[in-house]
Structure formats: C-alpha cells, structure tokens
Amino acid sequence: MTKEQIIKLFEDTAYVRTGGSEAERKCAEQLCRVAATMGFEASLEPFEVDVATIKSAHLYVDGQEISCKGYLLCGSGEVEAPLYYLPSTDPYSLSQCKGKIVMIDGYLGYWMYKDLLANGAVGFITYDGNANYADEDMDQRELRPYVSEGNKILGVNINAKTAIALIRDGASTARIVIEQEESKGMSHNVVFTLPGEIEDSIVLTAHYDSTSLSQGSYDNMSGCVGLFGIAEHFKDVTHRYTLRFVFCGSEERGLLGSKAYVIAHEDELASFALNINLDMIGCIMGKFIACCSAEEALVQYITYLGSERGFGISARQDVYSSDSTPFADKGVPSLSFARLAPPNTATIHNRYDTPAVMKAEHMLADIEFITAFTDRMANAVRCPVGRDIPEKVKEKLDTYLCRKRAPK
C-alpha cells in the first residue's frame, strides 16, 4: 500500500459507525468495495445483535434537569431515589446502595452491576469525558445483555465535569426517566480468504466499528488498513497456510463479531493454527506491543524477530481486550499487535480519535513488521506455535469473560 492509499482509507471512513447501526453496515459495504479494487472477493457474514433507540432520556437532580444520555437496553420507565456516590466497593460502601440511585466511577462492568443489584440499587449514573477538556461530550453507553441477564434497572451517562459539580454541591436526590424501543438488529463480519497449499488456516482479524463519539481512525480503522496491507503482500505470493481475513463488527459492544465468527465456524476451529489480531497501529506516537494468549515461546519468538529486523517491540503473555480473545477462549493460539500511544498524545472512544493522530509512514512500518511475522507463520512447514493455551492464560480468560471474579 502507498501512503496516499492509507490516507484515503482513513479519510473515507472518518465517521461514527457503532455496532448494529446503518453506518456500520455502510462501512462494511465500503470495506467490501475496497477489497474488490484490490482483487479480493469479500462477503458479509451477518449476526444478530440487540439494538435500541432512545426516544427520551432525562435526569433530574434535586429538581434540576441535568444533561445526560440514557443507557441503551436498560429498559424504560421512571425511578426517583436518594443519590449515592460509590467511590469504593468495600462491603460497607456497597451496603449503602439499597434503595438509591448510585453514581459510580468508570465503566459499568459485569461485577459492578451484579454488586449494585445484590445491594438493592434502583438506578445508576456513570460519567465519562475529562474534567480538563473543553467539551461536554457524553458517550452513548449500553447495558449489555450479558451484563444485565434480563434484570434491568435504569441508568444514564453524564459528563465528568457535571459529575464533579453534583458531588461537590452535595446533590441528594435523583430521578431518571427513560423511554426507548428495544429490538433485534444485524451486525456483520467482512471476510475473504487467500487459499494456501494446505487447508489449515491463519486467521487475521481487526474490528471496523467505532464508539458513539469516535471517527475510529486509530481504534480501529488502522487495524483494517493493516489487514489490507498484509493481504496485498500475499495476493500473488505462494504461501503454505490458508489466510482468512476477518474484519469484525461490533467489537466495541463486547467483541460480538469475533464471538459470532468462532461460533459460526466452530467445526473449523481445529484447522485454525493461529489468530493474528490488529487493534490500533500506526499512530504518530506510541510503543509497539504484542500481547500473546499463547505459549511463552511465542513471546520470545516475536522479541527475537523484532531484534532481527531492528523493529522496537515489547511482547508479553496476557489476554488482550480485543478480538483475539474469543479465539484464544476456543483454544486457538492468538495474539494482538498494537501501537499504544500515551493518553496525552492520542485517545480513543471520544471525538479526538480522528485521522489527525495517524501517520502513514508508521502504518507502513507496522504493516511491514506484522507481514514479516505472518510470512514466517504462513510459510512454516508446521506452524510452530503450541496448540495448548497455558493454564495461567485460561485463568485470565475466565476473569476477562466474567466466568470468574478477580480477587479484590
């Protein structure tokens, strides 16, 4: 790929494309057209997702209306109760949630929601953004179905500056009113295959959806551009392993695209030798990393390859919050490549994730290294990565996928 092609791809996809939306479908079709211009026959693999449309959402605190966004999929209705700020999750603090609308720091994760329900909370408030930013943005969040498991209480999201003001001023009572329509919708994985000499496959993944405030250039059109760059290299080159390219939908909603893919292709998993995932590469600033959900030997292999090629990389064995995780959970050795920028130089899930944080030369350098690694794997007589997922990685998968609670 050329620098000009890379820049054009970022510019052409610089729009919000949340999972299950019409904009996400538009981007999926756009990726198919890009693939076609490069000589690849891409298709869409649909999968069902829960969707919702907020008709109205209101938060009143001590009688004054506060700007907010209602949580998608949290139900409809009205609740009024004392407002309680929960800065700690020790047993005593949690016990004070009973009968209250609870404001929490950070995201509403699986175990936090279970704690709120178990301790009798009747509603919740989250906040995002940055108190030092000029904007008043609020992310459009959702109560994910695997979190609520059908047990819903109303919730809203507000801006961090608003949250600070409410607690500073001693806010005491809150009322949440939400009306929304919930239904089933469709998201899509975009897929194409480059056949190899054998049917056993290496699966390369990157997600193309974004969050509600983001143009998603860094997170993660960069990974999608990377997949096209790798595919271009192998297009007219003989390779032993078949290469599957999967552009995942709805990653930002809980890795839904990759989860759907491994379920839809469950009878083929035994032939998947390795998953290589790209999530956030090519930004102006930042350290290049590899996170391996596989044997420790792969970590050392990547470190040696980086040294051999004069490419700075930090590799570790861990579970990454991206589309490599569902593959690892199904027993497919997996790894994610990323270039992680310091948060004061490039951020994600907000309005500042635009083409402006990307650098075409860094994209090309990152693609070149990932392609070199992929070439080693794709042309191996036998993919050298051990098939067994280490026990300590399995334990981390259990924690990440909420099957087991991490120790406090």
DSSP assignment string, 85-124: EE---SHHHHHTTTTSEEEESS---HHHHHHHHHTT--EE
Q: What is the DSSP-derived secondary structure letter of residue 310? A: T
Within a 10 A sphere around the Cβ of 97, how many other Cβ atoms?
Answer: 21
Q: Which of 140, 125, 130 is closest to 86 using CA atoms?
A: 125
Do the Cβ atoms of 124 and 155 come closer than 8 Å?
yes
The string of pLDDT tens digits covering residues 374-404 is: 999 999 999 999 999 999 999 999 999 999 9
The string of pLDDT tens digits covering residues 233-246 is: 999 899 999 999 99
Q: What is the DSSP-derived secondary structure letter of residue 405? A: P
The string of pLDDT tens digits covering residues 300-324 is: 999 999 999 999 999 999 999 999 9
* Parallel/antiparallel/unpaired status of strands 123-128 and 64-66: unpaired
Report pLDDT for 252.
Answer: 98
The yes-or-no verdict on residue 206 having pLDDT over 80 is yes
Report pLDDT for 24.
Answer: 98
Pure H helices in 310-390 = 324-329, 360-378
Look up residue 149 and give its two tokens.
Answer: 């498991």
- Mean confidence (pLDDT) of the chain: 97
The yes-or-no verdict on residue 408 having pLDDT over 80 is no
Enclosing H/E stretch for 46: strand 43-61
Q: Which pLDDT band, with edges at 50, 70 and 90, does 285 fall under?
A: very high
- Collapsing DSSP to helix, strand or coil, 72 comes out as strand
The string of pLDDT tens digits covering residues 10-60 is: 999 999 999 999 999 999 999 999 999 999 999 999 999 999 999 999 999
The string of pLDDT tens digits covering residues 309-367 is: 999 999 999 999 999 999 999 999 999 999 999 999 999 999 999 999 999 999 999 99
Report pLDDT for 407.
Answer: 82
Domains in the chain (CATH in brackets) are 3-48+186-400 (3.40.630.10), 57-182 (3.50.30.30)
